[in-house]
Structures are given as structure tokens and as C-alpha cells.
């Protein structure tokens, strides 16, 4: 065979490693009971798949083909058509419902490779590992849920002599149709359930109330409940309730059924031991969509203090949710009311200019806020820019002279950005102004009193600049009456909020609702951001332009992100990152799943699913529990 795809060659090698024989395939089937249970669990999905594949089969009825659906574990759960080649496999039952078509069972085949690679695949004739399937041509394409979960594959099988290249595109279109139907149905169901949740929360809006999902993770809550948990709402949402309530009690909540509200006792720091009512909202499969907890009305006999005013700070349209930066801002806005000189330190792009502007607004000063970039003005001109000059002071001077920034900023704030770039001569003159509160224009002897607040900023380590003789120590201490250090973006805890903020910003600008796929979102969150906030804004804007004008799409993917080529920690794929994170947590907790789930911020049921998804994790957990 010529031009064998590398995908097929790799699969052949794995098939041999599984111990399969080319001359004889292996068979594995679900029992009738397991088949019925599996089809029952996937009833809604099978109804959607049937509605689409019925139509596809009708279009292909003149061809000798079979259309099929296999679930995410490779089990055949639905077939359409009865082509002639099926008779050849009647004895083996390969095309009977419940047959498993994974690589370790059937060797190289389209279904197995599509599940493994998560992309459309066609395997023709002798590309199959097992000889008995050489008479077949098979195409398969993955089917994903609206949230990106792999649900299974749609398949078309035909005699190898009846292969047509257009079958795979038709199959891919059918998968898109299924996903669209699933999205509509899921959205409709979730809307109904969310309306029920909202109605229930409105009824109890004067009581502490918490809503958790099927994994026990907090999805909504009010300020009264946040006070009881002694955390801001933003730090509670997305966390497992078992952090506060305990494992057994959360499991009890998640087994609730409609019409059987659960009463539980919970000793909280506000009320002591009190009775809470848990009311479940069930989906169509009678499983908890949400469980809403509220403090029983008759037990709320102690007045709850008003909730905190804010759990975030807004600066120039930018919401700050990192507690470390919030603390810095609160301090800065308080000291802004004094006349002390401020030195703001931080890497390029951390928002030093934004903070300086906010401090000016909070200072109560009536004059303007002016900025001068000390690194952008030639050293021989910096003094004339700051202090102004009289006519004839130097060649090229304006005939009427010119006031400097200090005079222009009278009664306001002068922001000296990149102060570390200022020449030593200018530093001497600036120090004199700060000490005497007067300036003298170049070419004049007349002192001019000034009332200007100085805020300076630098991305340099000025103590090292002093040692190197490039910055005056006396000026450093004069500017540094109050020093504020802004952390780099990689040390902040509100990256997801900033990412969404800039996404919303460009969406509003271009009148397009952009979104990120999972890989792009994860890369943005894990990237080291050497250019900090300024770089993040530029990267997201540029990615939006690439998506919209380069691919005519509104979904921003990893390929749209133009990130710095500077050395950084390797960015792992989403699945690699997830597996590595869980591995680390299992090792730290010595295989204690309850504790590992708590630290990861997910429910135990979700962690169990992850162990099944990653065989290496399952084996690691087994070894850790044996030790």
C-alpha cells in the first residue's frame, strides 16, 4: 500500500501492542440488560441522533451503506440501513447493537480513531488492521455536546468498492445538525430550570440562600449567605459547599428528590446551630440540576448585619477582583487625600498610570491631571518641559516663552512616568522644586510658587540605579514619601475577570459577541504576561480581529492568539494540564479523593469521572491507596 496516513500507521502499531491478530478479530458486547440501561441513560441524545440520521439514511437509501451511532466508549447503539455486507458479519455480530468498536478490541477502524483523535476519519479497505474488515470502507466523525464533551461518533459503513469521498462531509454536516439540536434543547431545558431556581430564590430573598449544582458546587448565593460563610460572594461562587458543610451532608443534599425537601442542621458562625431547608430542582432525568438551601424562616431571630458594600473595585471601567490589588487601591485612594509625594513601582503595563489618575480623582484637587513621560523626552529638553522657559532662553525657543508642566498643573497633579529615565541634571532641579515648592523658568530669575501634587512611577529598581550612580538617593527618598508597588499580572488572582472584561470591550467596539474556546481561555489564563495588562488588552483585541476578519468567526481559538515569543513555561494542552493538576493533588493528598476534590474546587463525583477518563490517574490512585 502506498501513501498510508501516519494516523493509520500509528494505529497499526498500537493494535499490535494490544496483542491483536490480523487474521482474527476480538469481540466484546454489552449484555442485553446493560444495553437497555445505557440506551435509557442516553434517551434524549438518541432521540436527537435518530431525528438527524433518519434523514441522512433517507438521502442515502439508494446506496448500499449503513449509518450508525457509537457512544463515547465505542459501543454501537443505533444503526440505519441493512446493506449486503452486514450478512457477512452475521455470525460474529460485529454490527449488532452493543458491539464495541474500540481500537483495543477491533484494531484500526474509523470509529476508534475518530473517538481517539476527536476528528473526522475515513479508513478504507486494507487500512483496517484486521483482515476480515478489509472489505469495508468506513467513515466516522465525532459528536460533541454544546459544552464540548465527546458524546460518541456518527458513522457510515459501505463495501470498499462502494466508497465515495462525499460521504464523510455529509456525515460531518449531520454531526453539526445534531449538536445544534442538542444546544437548542439544552438551552430550553436550562432556561426552564433556571426560571424555577430564580423563582425559588425570589421567594426567599430576605433569607440567607445558596444554590448548588449536581456536583455540590456553589452557583448562586446572596450577600446574607456570604456573610454566614465569612467570604465575599466572588470567592464562594465555584467552590464546593463541602468546604463549609462537610462531605456527608452535601451527599445527602444531592440525593434529594422533588417533593421531599431536606432539613439539615448547620452550625454557622452567625446563628450557631440552625435548621436549613434544601429544595431540589430536578432535570428531565430526575437528577438534581440545582439544590437551593435557605435558612428556615422561623429560626432567623437575630438581625443579620447589612452585607458588605463591595467585593470589587472599579477603576477606569476595569473591575478589580484580586484581593491583593484591591487592598493596594484602597490604601492608595486613602493616602491620595494627603499632600505626600507618591512613588508607584511595577513592571511595564501593570496600570501605574491608571492608579495615578484614580489617586488624582480621589485627592479632591481642583486642578488638572497632567502626565509627562520622562523617558520619551530628550534629556536636554526635560527641564524646559517641566519648568518652562522665557523668550530667547535658547535657540528655537518660542518668542513669547512657554509655561512648563508644573505651572500648567497648578492646583492639580503632575504624573512623572518613567522617572528612572530622568537625567541627573533634571533630577537636581526636580529635587529643588519638591523641597522649595517654587519653580524658575529657564532664562528667568523670577521664582514662581506652585501647588502641585507629584506622583512618580517607574519600572526600574531605583535602589540599584542609585548604586550604579544613575539616580540621586536624596530625590529617591523625597519622591518615596509613600511607595506603592503594583504586582505583575501573573501574580494576580482575577485574570479570568480581566480576560472577560477585554473580550466584552472589543465585542462592544465591533458590535460582535466574541467568545473563547476552552483552549484559548486556558492559554490566556496560564500565559506569563510579561507586558501585563497592556499586553493582555492588545492580545485579546488582536485575536478578535484575527477571528472576525481572518476566519469570519466570533469564536476566538488558540491559533488567533499572538503571544510573546519570550521564553516561558511550556503551555500544556487543556487535557494535559487537567491530568497534571489532578496528579499533583492526588499525590499531595495521598489518594484521599474527598480532600483532593476539595482542594481542586470540584465535587467528588466529578473527580471520579476524571479518574475514569484518565487511566493513568486511576492507576495512580490505586497505588496510593495501597501504600
The reported pLDDT for the residue numbered 495 is: 82
User: Who wins on pLDDT, 114 or 179?
Assistant: 114
102 — pLDDT class (breaks 50, 70, 90): very high
Count of beta carbons in the 10 Å neighbourhood of residue 290:
21
Q: What are phi and psi of 221, to 5 degrees?
A: -170, 165
445 — pLDDT class (breaks 50, 70, 90): confident
Which pairs with CB-CB distance under 8 Å and at least 24 residues apart come from 12-15?
12/107, 12/108, 12/129, 14/103, 15/103, 15/107, 15/108, 15/129
Mean pLDDT check: name the lowest of 14-18, 103-107, 420-424, 561-565: 561-565
166 — pLDDT class (breaks 50, 70, 90): confident
pLDDT digits (tens, 9 = 90+) for 316-373: 556 677 888 889 999 999 999 888 899 999 998 888 999 999 999 989 899 999 998 8
The reported pLDDT for the residue numbered 279 is: 73
In whole angstroms, give the CA distance from residue 298 to residue 276: 10
CB 27 within 8 A of CB 99: yes
Mean pLDDT check: name the lowest of 63-67, 202-206, 384-388, 421-425: 202-206
The reported pLDDT for the residue numbered 97 is: 92
- As a whole number, mean pLDDT of residues 295-314 equals 44
The reported pLDDT for the residue numbered 204 is: 44
Taking alpha carbons only, the member of 363, 345, 417, 411 closest to residue 385 is: 417
* pLDDT at position 28 over 80: yes
* pLDDT at position 485 over 90: yes
Taking alpha carbons only, the member of 355, 350, 370 closest to residue 412 is: 370
Give Cα 45 distance to the centre of its chain.
Answer: 27
CB 427 within 8 A of CB 471: yes
299 — pLDDT class (breaks 50, 70, 90): very low
To the nearest whole number, what is the mean pLDDT of the chain? 80
Taking alpha carbons only, the member of 182, 222, 394, 415 closest to residue 306 is: 222
The reported pLDDT for the residue numbered 311 is: 46
Mean pLDDT check: name the lowest of 59-63, 164-168, 224-228: 224-228
* pLDDT at position 218 over 60: yes
CB within 8 A of 280, min separation 6: which ones?
253, 256, 257, 258, 261, 288, 290, 291, 292
Strands 150-159 and 136-144: antiparallel
> Model's pTM, two decimal places?
0.43
The reported pLDDT for the residue numbered 301 is: 38
Q: Is 291 helix (H, G, I), strand (E, B) or coil?
A: strand
pLDDT digits (tens, 9 = 90+) for 75-100: 999 999 888 888 888 778 888 999 99
In whole angstroms, give the CA distance from residue 387 to residue 504: 42
CB 135 within 8 A of CB 141: no
Q: Could you please report the per-residue DSSP string of 175-241?
A: HHHHHHHHHHHHHHHHHHHHHHHHHHHHHTTTS-EEEE-TTSBEEEE-HHHHHHHTS-HHHHTTSBT
* pLDDT at position 307 over 60: no
Residue 60 Cα distances to 64, 65, 164, 375, 491, angstroms: 8, 7, 11, 71, 57
The reported pLDDT for the residue numbered 286 is: 58
The reported pLDDT for the residue numbered 250 is: 77
The reported pLDDT for the residue numbered 342 is: 93
pLDDT digits (tens, 9 = 90+) for 539-586: 999 999 999 999 888 999 989 998 876 544 444 444 566 677 787 778
The reported pLDDT for the residue numbered 303 is: 39
Percent of the chain exceeding pLDDT 70 equals: 80
User: Who wins on pLDDT, 266 or 431?
Assistant: 431
The reported pLDDT for the residue numbered 413 is: 93
Q: Any idea which residue has 485574570 for its cell?
A: 495
* pLDDT at position 129 over 50: yes
Percent of the chain exceeding pLDDT 90 equals: 30
On the CB side of 460, CA atoms within 13 Å amount to: 19
Strands 453-458 and 342-345: parallel
Residue 251 Cα distances to 206, 245, 279, 453, angstroms: 27, 10, 14, 59
Taking alpha carbons only, the member of 588, 580, 585, 618 closest to residue 602 is: 585
Taking alpha carbons only, the member of 616, 598, 618 closest to residue 608 is: 618
Count of beta carbons in the 10 Å neighbourhood of residue 251:
14
Please, what sign has the CA dihedral across residues 366, 371, 374, 380?
Answer: negative
Q: What are phi and psi of 517, to 5 degrees?
A: -80, 170
Q: Is 248 helix (H, G, I), strand (E, B) or coil?
A: helix
Amino acid at each position: 500500500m502506498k501513501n498510508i496516513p501516519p494516523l493509520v500507521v500509528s494505529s497499526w502499531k498500537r493494535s499490535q501492542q494490544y496483542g491483536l491478530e490480523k487474521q482474527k478479530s476480538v469481540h466484546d458486547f454489552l449484555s442485553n440488560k446493560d444495553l437497555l440501561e445505557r440506551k435509557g441513560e442516553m434517551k434524549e441524545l438518541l432521540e436527537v441522533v435518530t431525528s438527524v440520521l433518519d434523514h441522512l439514511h433517507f438521502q442515502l437509501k439508494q446506496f448500499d451503506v449503513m449509518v450508525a451511532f457509537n457512544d463515547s466508549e465505542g459501543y454501537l447503539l443505533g444503526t440505519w440501513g441493512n446493506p449486503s455486507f452486514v450478512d457477512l458479519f452475521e455470525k460474529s455480530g460485529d454490527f449488532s447493537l452493543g458491539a464495541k468498536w474500540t481500537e483495543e478490541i477491533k484494531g484500526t477502524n474509523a470509529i476508534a480513531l475518530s473517538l481517539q483523535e476527536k476528528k473526522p476519519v475515513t479508513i478504507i479497505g486494507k487500512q483496517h488492521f484486521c483482515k476480515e474488515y478489509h472489505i469495508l470502507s468506513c467513515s466516522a466523525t465525532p459528536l460533541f455536546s454544546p459544552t464540548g464533551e465527546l458524546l460518541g461518533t456518527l458513522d457510515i459503513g459501505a463495501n470498499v468498492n462502494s466508497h465515495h469521498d462525499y460521504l464523510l462531509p455529509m456525515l460531518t454536516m449531520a454531526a453539526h445538525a445534531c449538536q445544534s439540536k442538542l444546544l437548542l434543547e439544552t438551552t430550553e431545558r436550562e432556561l426552564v430550570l433556571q426560571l424555577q431556581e430564580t423563582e425559588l430564590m425570589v421567594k426567599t430573598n430576605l433569607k440567607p440562600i445558596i444554590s448548588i449544582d449536581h456536583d455540590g458546587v456553589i452557583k448562586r448565593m446572596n450577600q446574607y449567605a456570604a456573610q454566614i460563610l465569612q467570604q465575599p460572594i466572588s470567592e464562594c461562587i465555584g467552590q464546593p459547599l463541602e468546604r463549609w458543610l462537610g462531605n456527608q451532608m452535601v451527599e445527602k443534599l444531592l440525593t434529594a428528590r422533588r417533593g421531599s425537601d431536606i432539613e439539615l442542621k448547620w452550625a454557622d458562625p452567625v446563628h450557631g446551630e440552625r435548621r436549613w431547608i434544601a429544595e431540589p430542582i430536578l432535570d428531565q432525568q430526575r437528577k438534581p440540576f440545582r439544590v437551593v438551601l435557605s435558612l428556615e424562616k422561623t429560626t432567623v431571630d437575630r438581625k443579620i448585619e447589612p452585607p458588605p458594600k463591595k467585593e470589587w473595585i472599579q477603576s477606569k471601567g476595569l473591575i478589580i477582583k484580586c484581593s491583593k490589588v484591591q487592598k493596594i487601591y484602597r490604601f492608595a485612594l486613602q493616602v491620595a487625600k494627603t499632600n505626600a509625594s507618591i512613588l508607584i513601582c511595577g513592571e511595564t503595563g501593570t496600570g501605574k498610570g491608571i492608579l495615578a489618575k484614580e489617586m488624582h480623582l480621589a485627592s479632591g484637587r481642583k486642578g488638572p491631571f497632567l502626565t509627562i513621560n520622562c523617558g520619551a523626552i530628550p534629556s536636554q529638553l526635560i527641564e524646559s518641559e517641566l519648568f518652562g522657559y522665557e523668550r530667547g532662553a535658547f535657540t528655537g525657543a518660542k518668542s513669547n516663552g512657554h509655561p512648563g508642566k508644573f505651572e500648567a498643573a497648578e492646583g492639580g497633579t503632575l504624573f512623572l512616568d518613567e522617572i528612572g529615565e530622568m537625567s541627573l541634571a533634571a533630577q537636581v532641579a526636580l529635587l529643588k522644586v519638591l523641597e522649595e515648592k517654587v519653580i524658575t523658568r529657564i532664562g528667568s530669575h523670577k521664582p514662581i510658587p506652585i501647588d502641585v501634587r507629584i506622583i512618580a512611577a517607574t519600572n526600574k529598581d531605583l535602589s540599584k540605579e542609585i548604586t550604579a550612580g544613575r539616580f540621586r538617593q536624596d530625590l529617591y527618598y523625597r519622591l518615596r514619601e509613600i511607595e506603592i508597588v503594583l504586582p505583575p499580572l501573573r501574580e494576580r488572582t482575577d485574570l479570568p475577570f480581566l480576560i472577560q472584561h477585554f473580550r466584552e470591550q472589543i465585542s462592544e467596539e465591533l458590535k460582535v459577541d466574541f467568545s473563547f474556546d476552552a483552549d484559548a481561555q486556558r492559554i490566556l489564563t496560564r500565559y506569563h504576561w510579561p507586558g501585563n495588562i497592556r499586553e493582555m488588552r492588545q492580545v485579546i483585541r488582536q485575536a478578535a480581529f484575527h477571528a472576525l476578519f481572518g476566519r469570519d468567526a466570533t469564536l476566538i481559538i488558540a491559533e488567533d492568539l499572538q503571544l510573546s515569543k519570550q521564553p516561558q513555561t511550556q503551555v500544556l494542552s487543556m487535557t494535559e494540564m487537567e491530568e497534571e493538576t489532578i496528579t499533583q493533588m492526588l499525590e499531595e493528598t495521598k489518594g484521599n479523593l474527598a480532600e483532593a476534590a476539595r482542594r481542586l474546587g470540584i465535587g467528588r463525583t466529578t473527580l471520579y469521572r476524571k479518574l475514569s477518563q484518565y487511566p493513568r490517574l486511576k492507576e495512580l490512585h490505586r497505588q496510593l491507596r495501597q501504600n
